[in-house]
Chains A and B, each alone.
Chain A
């Protein structure tokens, strides 16, 4: 194999565009790997990890673009570097032709837009904190999508934000809604009366999409970043967001979405929720002992949305394992392999981190130990992988943007860990892949055929996080999955419960009697 590198001096381009171009180059015949990275210290480290660090590449500085191609022959490598340059030039030309003036600094941007009130930051984490502090010091709210921001910097940013009465939504916050406008990866949802405070991007997407499906809308979805409820950050932004929503006339009910809350932070959050004069639904997935008088506890994301809508409509609410039992019964009776799937293993391949976490917790509750993000945990009843985790995204875009990694893993199914049930999510909305169902359905068709040929039972189950207003055409997305014989469920929790039911049919009565 030949590895060739070319450096393009002073050629900055954002990482998503670079990864998309790399994706196109990888599809060329004879190309083993294509890496396009700015020469930042973390990218040099990353190139080393993926075996593409070269003597030429290490000379690149943070403003230089490194193009490294691994190919079967020297000619293929050379031609691919030329193709990379052409694609980059096309991109630059399109940008120049847009004739949009792009200021180089935040101060120039603010001069251009004196009424600016929010800065959205999605540059590498090593620099993001400096732009964020600049924005806060200019009294601008911050949406901080970037990850790899040190936790001590997060504390500093949030202290500054709170002192100035500003939101610092992040770091590592994928989604937020302000005033009905989605930031980052966001489903298009109607404006409404439900406010969210969320330490999870996909958690917020799942709740907002479900609220929309139920005919209600979101007032604001304040993303606080996944570490806000940790001991170090101490819920700084969660507290601030609750206080803001308390004063917001458009918000009638508040949902708190997070993964487990650090025990040391619970009393503070409890006090804030108790003081709030609005109904609160708490959905802290994996925290079973966080019950607050007067607040509703929801175990799953769909329950959180359902409960909030019921409160809003002054209707009674009771958690259900499945929305419609008749539909579940029909699904079961239609499944040819149903009996053969009893006792088999589940493989969950997720693009949404909180969805993966939710499935893992549910399945462990029903089936005993289930592996999580550890491909070697073969002794368990299943394995759930969050493909958006850093382990799977080294040098590649997030799987919501580029589903290739998941496609590869589905095609490997059957070769390892003996799973017969595939559990999936499909996250639509702004920022996500333009047609994510297509590669997913194609891969499932291939693997299904392979299982049939080998005489092995097979089932693929999925939930779709999306709305009718999303750019991807949700109905068409669902149809593509159904055409590939993927069973689509109204929520991730229902898909996970159905998977558990296939593995252990004895759960039938428990699920159908409204208990779980």
Chain B
């Protein structure tokens, strides 16, 4: 199984949501980027689903 090793690597975290989680990680010396997240495309979740289906990660 191709398990991308995270268990022996320092964490580098992107935090999407509760800022407190980012603050707690930073306090432990973990690298964190906090996203300025807003509901996408005016909060329309059907459009979000469509965009996600078009996203191939590249």
Chain A interfacial positions (CB closer than 8 Å to B): 12, 14-17, 38-41, 61-63, 100, 102-106, 109-110, 112-113, 115-124, 126-131, 133-141, 145-146, 164-167, 178-179, 181-184, 186, 219-220, 240, 243-244, 247-250, 430-431
Query: CA A233 – CA B21 in complex, angstroms?
Result: 27
Known A-B contacts A102-B36, A430-B24; the reply to A120 vs B17 at CB < 8 A is yes
Which residues of chain A have C-beta atoms less than 8 A from B25's C-beta?
120, 181, 183
Instruction: Check if A141 sits within 8 Å of B6, measured CB to CB.
Output: yes
Instruction: Check if A116 sits within 8 Å of B42, measured CB to CB.
Output: no
Instruction: Check if A117 sits within 8 Å of B9, measured CB to CB.
Output: yes
Which residues of chain A have C-beta atoms less than 8 A from B14's C-beta?
106, 109-110, 113, 116, 118-120, 135, 140
Chain A nearest CB, measured from B4 CB (Å): 5
Q: Could you list 6 examples of A-B contacts with CB < 8 Å? A: A14-B17, A17-B19, A103-B33, A119-B15, A179-B8, A248-B7
Q: Which of B6, B18, B33, B51 touches A16 (beta carbons < 8 Å)?
A: B18
Query: CA A133 – CA B8 in complex, angstroms?
Result: 24
Residue of A nearest to B29 (CB): A181
Q: B31-46: which residues lie under 8 A (CB-CB) from chain A? A: 31, 33-40, 42-45
Q: How many residues of B contact A (CB 8 A)?
A: 45
Residue of A nearest to B37 (CB): A123
Chain B nearest CB, measured from A322 CB (Å): 34
Chain A nearest CB, measured from B24 CB (Å): 4
Query: CA A109 – CA B22 in complex, angstroms?
Result: 14
Known A-B contacts A106-B35, A141-B6; the reply to A123 vs B43 at CB < 8 A is no
Q: Which of B20, B37, B39 touches A431 (beta carbons < 8 Å)?
A: B20
Instruction: Check if B6 sits within 8 Å of A145, measured CB to CB.
Output: no
Instruction: Check if A62 sits within 8 Å of B43, measured CB to CB.
Output: yes
Which residues of chain B have C-beta atoms less than 8 A from A119's C-beta?
13-16
Known A-B contacts A40-B43, A140-B14, A146-B17; the reply to A165 vs B3 at CB < 8 A is yes
Which residues of chain A have C-beta atoms less than 8 A from B44's C-beta?
62
Query: CA A61 – CA B56 in complex, angstroms?
Result: 28
- Could you count the A-B residue pairs with CB atoms below 8 Å apart for me: how many are there? 169
Residue of B nearest to A119 (CB): B14
Which residues of chain A have C-beta atoms less than 8 A from B37's C-beta?
12, 104, 123, 131
Known A-B contacts A109-B35, A130-B48; the reply to A179 vs B7 at CB < 8 A is yes
Query: CA A119 – CA B17 in complex, angstroms?
Result: 10
Query: CA A213 – CA B9 in complex, angstroms?
Result: 26
Query: CA A133 – CA B57 in complex, angstroms?
Result: 9
Known A-B contacts A112-B33, A123-B37, A165-B1; the reply to A145 vs B12 at CB < 8 A is no
Query: CA A244 – CA B45 in complex, angstroms?
Result: 34
Residue of A nearest to B25 (CB): A181
Instruction: Check if A250 sits within 8 Å of B8, measured CB to CB.
Output: yes
Q: Which of A61, A115, A431 touches B43 (beta carbons < 8 Å)?
A: A61
Instruction: Check if A39 sits within 8 Å of B43, measured CB to CB.
Output: yes
Instruction: Check if A431 sits within 8 Å of B21, measured CB to CB.
Output: yes
Query: CA A145 – CA B19 in complex, angstroms?
Result: 13
Instruction: Check if B40 sits within 8 Å of A181, measured CB to CB.
Output: no
Which residues of chain B have C-beta atoms less than 8 A from A137's C-beta?
55-57
Known A-B contacts A119-B16, A137-B57; the reply to A183 vs B38 at CB < 8 A is no
Which residues of chain B have C-beta atoms less than 8 A from A124's C-beta?
39
Instruction: Check if B40 sits within 8 Å of A130, measured CB to CB.
Output: yes
Instruction: Check if A123 sits within 8 Å of B16, measured CB to CB.
Output: yes
Which residues of chain B have C-beta atoms less than 8 A from A109's C-beta?
14, 33, 35
Query: CA A166 – CA B22 in complex, angstroms?
Result: 21
Query: CA A105 – CA B12 in complex, angstroms?
Result: 16
Chain B nearest CB, measured from A251 CB (Å): 8
Which residues of chain A have C-beta atoms less than 8 A from B6's C-beta?
117-118, 141, 167, 178-179
Query: CA A134 – CA B17 in complex, angstroms?
Result: 15
Query: CA A120 – CA B1 in complex, angstroms?
Result: 24
Known A-B contacts A181-B28, A248-B7, A250-B8; the reply to A127 vs B55 at CB < 8 A is no
